Structure 1
Amino acid sequence: MTVRKPSAIAGSAAFLILVPGVVAGLVPWFLTNGYGLPLSSSAAMVAAGSILILGGFAVLLHSFARFAFEGAGTPAPIAPTERLVVGGAYRYVRNPMYVAVLSIIFGQALLFADGSLVIYACAVAVTVFTFVKLYEEPTLARRYGHEYEAYRRAVPGWVPRLTPWKSA
């Protein structure tokens, strides 16, 4: 399915609200009774949590934009990119969206000193890792072939590289 950039932008925005918005926003909101918990009594935990949330949100927005502008598609499996997305944050880690979502959830756990969010983040991490291994990586290998395999060998999936990868 070929997606034009305006459609890719709209589709990526809708997917951003629907999936990460629910996983990193709505579910944590419910788990914390509408963020009704007091902030952590530790200034260091509030600071660390805030940094994880803001950094994760910035990486998430950047990554979604890359799908629309670089890949001419969306992160949604029903409207995939025309080109493999390997620029921006993708030069450091293959899964910046998932890393960002987990950062946001762990950040909220620190901000609110809420153990249920740590358990939830761990469940999300296992689910995402399984999805990537069983569906996403094989699908990308079939769709993009040698280009994806070279990228996969050079860029780690979960812990970012210190230097950006440069495609051939």
Structure 2
Amino acid sequence: MAQTGSPARAWIGTVFFLFLAPGVVAGLIPWVISGWRRFDWGGAGWAVVPVAWLMITAGAAFLLHAFALFAMHRGTPAPVAPTETLVVTGVYRFVRNPMYLAVLTIILAQALLFGSWWLVLYALIVLAAVVAFVKGYEEPTLTSTYGEQYLDYRRNVPGWWPRLSPWQAPEP
């Protein structure tokens, strides 16, 4: 498994991957689909537009936080340059897949903001692809890499629906 090594390389790789993966999936492709043309919600706009922007802001904040945790653990979210340790801090104490949930939140918020059923369909396609990737690659790889530590984490932290209280990893 290739690891980044230095903190600077971890941050550079993480920022690069942020633009490459979520930037394309939650930014470029939704723009291609919708043209980012705001939908006229008429009288409902006073409620719909702020909710959409709140979702985008929350999704982006969680995404950036989750990405930063990878760099702080001297790696990146990219499979080619993983962290040196299993990331079980920050938002990962509540849910195992915060990045995917953040990206889906951003896409669905854009669907709302732009009134686009095509973006809803796209979000469903992204969800199916992400679940297949998690089940087919990520979980088996993390299990073989971190063994019982990951299995314990997986038993205690849900993959898709966040816990209400943060999980505390046992001391090594």
Q: Same fold (TM over 0.5)?
A: yes
Q: Does 1:2 align with 2:11?
A: no
1:68 maps to what in 2? 71
- Give the drift of 1:46: 1.1
Number of residue-to-residue matches in the alignment: 166
Q: Does 1:45 align with 2:36?
A: no
Q: Which runs of 5+ in 2 are unaligned?
A: none
**14, 17, 24: which one aligns with 1:15:** 17
Q: TM-score, normalised by structure 2?
A: 0.93
Determine the C-alpha separation between the residues in 2 that align with 1:45 and 1:20. 24
Determine if contact 1:12/1:73 at 8 Å carries over to the other structure. Answer: yes
**43, 58, 79: which one aligns with 1:55:** 58
Q: Does 1:91 align with 2:108?
A: no
Determine if contact 1:106/1:118 at 8 Å carries over to the other structure. Answer: yes
Determine the C-alpha separation between the residues in 1 that align with 2:13 and 2:57. 23
Question: Residues 39, 65 of structure 1: CA spacing in aligned structure 2 closer, same or farther, 3 A cutoff?
Answer: farther
Identical positions, percent: 52
Q: TM-score, normalised by structure 1?
A: 0.96
Determine if contact 2:37/2:114 at 8 Å carries over to the other structure. Answer: no
RMSD value, Cα:
1.0
* Runs of 4+ more than 6 Å apart: none
Determine the C-alpha separation between the residues in 2 that align with 1:28 and 1:38. 14
Aligned AA for 2:97?
N
Determine the C-alpha separation between the residues in 1 that align with 2:3 and 2:163. 32
Question: Residues 98, 74 of structure 1: CA spacing in aligned structure 2 closer, same or farther, 3 A cutoff?
Answer: same
